[in-house]
A and B are shown apart, each in its own frame.
Chain A
Amino acid sequence: MTNRIVDHPVLGKLEERQKVQFEFDGKTYEGYENDTIASALLAHGIRTLRKHEESGNPRGIYCNIGHCFECRVTVNGETNVRACLTPIKANMIVESGQVQPHPLNPSQEGDIPKTYAEYLEQEGRG
């Protein structure tokens, strides 16, 4: 964990804290008690927390204090959780946001599906 600011000329030495293990997109990471999901991941050099639902562009934190919702992730199955406000807990399962299907997009080929069954069929999942 090279990205920690261990010694600080004014704030002093980083105090000893409990280590906490959590999972992000299937991999296990270690952080410290009081870390948020965002800070623990950034300490490991991970900036991308999700892909934009539509464009798939990568997104990370912006405000880091809960105002912008750019950092939304899924935590233990709950969607739209702000990574910058959520402290890591042991065995927490965090997943990044992914591109969402866009069945009603008029620019795609074929007819727009009318029912869910039709949509699944078009997806080849019928």
Chain B
Amino acid sequence: MQIYDVVIIGAGPAGLAAAIQCRENNLDVVVLDEFPRAGGRLLGQLHQEPNGQWWNGIEESKALLERAESLETDIQLGVSVHHIEKLDDQFVIHTKKKYFHTRNVLIATGAAESPAPIPGWTLPGVMSIGAAQVMTNVHRVKVGEKGIIVGVNVLSAAIARELQLAGIELHSMALPTRNVVVDEQSDPRLVMDRLSRIAHLAPSKFIQLGSKFAKYKFVQSLALKYYPTNGIKMWGMPIYLNKAIKQINGTDKVESVTMVDVTINGDIVENSEKEIPVDFVCIAGGLYPLAELAAVVGCPFIYSEELGGHIPIHNETMETPVKGIYVAGNITGIESSKVAREQGKVAGLAIAHKELNSIDIEEKLQAAVRNVVATRDAASIQFHPGISEGRKKVSTAFQETMKTQKELELVR
């Protein structure tokens, strides 16, 4: 039976970057991913950086994959991992087809989109914003002729632009009307606040505009109060913080949406209903770390709103308190793919260092850790304004967990 040095779960930027580091140090590695192509969510990404250059996810993925392949990395696609079993000195990765025995595991499963239910959302033609991104940029299939985007955030603004580039018509972007699940996405003040605090780095004209009037809370309120009835336009498409989608209509597929006006508090203005014909709807509920596998193998968690949800506790070299289990990429908090890639490098080097214990690797590891911070600071897409605070919380939690672990060992 083969025992791997490391099994990497997820072939996104984090997983691939880690695999490259491990292979450069000659470790026995296998990368597993359930998606039929390597690259993870990086594949679908396409945005213009502030310097005008395009960030082309397909190309970036290809570069990572080619490097990994030149190092003869074993990458197995179409393989879903459903369990990690912890034995005394190794782990067993359970997939549908077979078991993989390994000394170390890197969990780099990325993020998932929070569902944002609104009436009619199960109709064919309603999809998450990320679904539309993948269909458009990866599969190159149009999601429809004319659609609307429900939910205004960095990701939906970026993907709206991508849909437009592919020649798909968008009526507008608007908020969902309030319900218990979409409470935060439906509050114009919260949405405005979030957008404005990350505006200086946004790739979109709209959000940059927001930053001008939105540095202070009272200015934001004013801005909302005097929000143009026809929305603020981004590349010709209106973005409404004063209109919301109440329901999606159709019998066998999407035929239209019902749009209403909302007040600055997100309350529906009476008799303002309008029906808008569309054949698809994208719902943007935000991202959260996809961390079940870390939970299954016993990693402790901490909740961080700034990082997007429940985060497996880890230190700056991506180790968790469960010896041999590492995490990298969006499972550690929602950030751009560049940060994920740098985190992957760190994790790969940390695993190599654990297995080989060389000074050379240690130095590279320290440099890679610094690089994560530098990349974060320079990121052109930031999902939450408070990422650095979130990171601090996680590392404090790691120290505390290790301290308690030690104390418990002493007691025993």
Hey, which bits of chain A sit against chain B, CB under 8 A?
Answer: 3-6, 8-11, 14, 34-36, 38-39, 42-43, 47-49, 52, 57-68, 70, 84-87
Contact = CB atoms under 8 A, between A and B. Distances in A.
B75 to A, nearest CB: 15
B50 interface: no
Given A36-B36, A48-B124, 10 more contacts: A36-B139, A39-B139, A42-B141, A49-B124, A58-B124, A60-B124, A64-B134, A65-B35, A85-B78, A87-B78
Interface of B: 34-37, 41, 46, 54, 56, 58, 78, 80, 112-113, 115, 122-128, 130-132, 134-137, 139-143, 165-167, 252-253, 290
Contacts of A14: 140
11 contacts: A4-B142, A5-B140, A8-B140, A47-B253, A60-B123, A62-B127, A62-B131, A63-B130, A64-B135, A68-B115, A70-B122
Nearest to B252: A58
A94 to B, nearest CB: 15
The CB with the most chain A CB atoms within 10 A, among B126, B139, B290, is that of B139
B128 A64 contact: yes
The CB with the most chain B CB atoms within 10 A, among A35, A62, A65, A87, is that of A65
The CB with the most chain B CB atoms within 10 A, among A9, A11, A34, A85, is that of A11
B398 to A, nearest CB: 27
> Nearest 3 pairs between A and B by C-beta?
A60-B124, A64-B131, A47-B124
Contact of B112 (A5, A58, A67, A84): A67
B122 A59 contact: yes
B139 A35 contact: yes
A11 B167 contact: no
Nearest to B162: A10
